[in-house]
Amino acid sequence: RMARLPYRKTLEKFDFSFQPGIDQKTIRELASMAFVRQAANVVFLGPPGVGKTHLAVALGMEALAAGLSVYFIPMAKLVEDLRRAHDQRRLDTRMRQYLRPKLLILDEAGYTRLDPVAANLVFQLVNTRYERGSMILTSNKSFGEWGDLFGDAVLASAVLDRLLHHSHIVNIRGQSYRLREKVRAGVYA
Ligand code: ADP
Ligand code: MG
C-alpha cells in the first residue's frame, strides 16, 4: 500500500541495549498504532546513525501490518515534489495526495536548509495533516535550530506548534550504530 520504505527493518532487529537512552516501553506503545488512530505525530531527534530512520521504518512496517496505509519520503524529495506541483499550478491536487496515507513518514528533516518557497510548502503540508493524519518525522536538528532551517523563526514556530501539539518526541543522544565496529577497532576515540 504505497509504502516506499527505503529498507525493511523491524523493531525486533533494533538493539535497545546499544541505545539505552531510548525507552523501549515508549516504542512498544507507539507500535500499538494508537498514535496513528489519534492522528498524533512522532518525532525522532538525534545525530546521524543512532537509529532514527530504522525506528521510523519499523513503525511503518507495524502500521502496514495493522492494515494502515503508509508513505515514506525524505524531506528533500518531498520539497522537490511539492515545488514542482506548485510551479505547475497543481499544488492542491498534490497536497491531497499527501493527505491520503494514514501515516506519512518524513525522513531527514534538517539536512538541507529550506528557501522561502520550500519552507512555506512544508508549513502547508504540516498544516494540512494537522489533526487529520499522523506523521513520523526524523531530524538531526534540535527544535531550537528550526528557525535557521526554515530561514524564518515565525514560520518555524508555526510548523512546530502544529507538529508538536499532539506528539511523542524521542530524543536519541547515543552513539552512531554505523560507527560501532570502528569504535571497537579503535579507529575512533
Ligand atoms: P539515522 O537515521 O539515525 O541516521 P539509521 O536508522 O539509518 O540512522 O541507522 C543506521 C544503520 O544502523 C541502519 O542500518 C540501522 O538499521 C542500524 N541501526 C541503528 N541503530 C541500531 C540499533 N540500536 N540496533 C540495530 N541496528 C541499528
Ligand atoms: Mg536516517
Residue 50 alpha carbon to ligand 2 centre in Å: 8
**What CATH topology corresponds to 16-184?**
Rossmann fold (3.40.50)
Find residue 168's DSSP bridge partners: 42
CA-to-CA distance for 91 and 49, rounded, in angstroms? 34
Report helix, strand or coil for 138. strand
Q: Which of 13, 177, 183 to mutate to test the pocket of ligand 1 (most atoms within 8 A of CB)?
A: 177
Distance from C-alpha of 136 to C-alpha of 43, rounded to nearest angstrom = 6
Return per-residue pLDDT of the chain as tens, 189 residues.
Answer: 578 999 999 999 999 999 999 999 999 999 999 999 999 999 999 999 999 999 999 999 999 999 999 999 999 999 999 999 999 999 999 999 999 999 999 999 988 899 999 999 999 999 999 999 999 999 999 999 999 999 999 999 999 999 999 999 999 998 999 988 777 777 665
86 Cα to the center of ligand 1, angstroms: 34
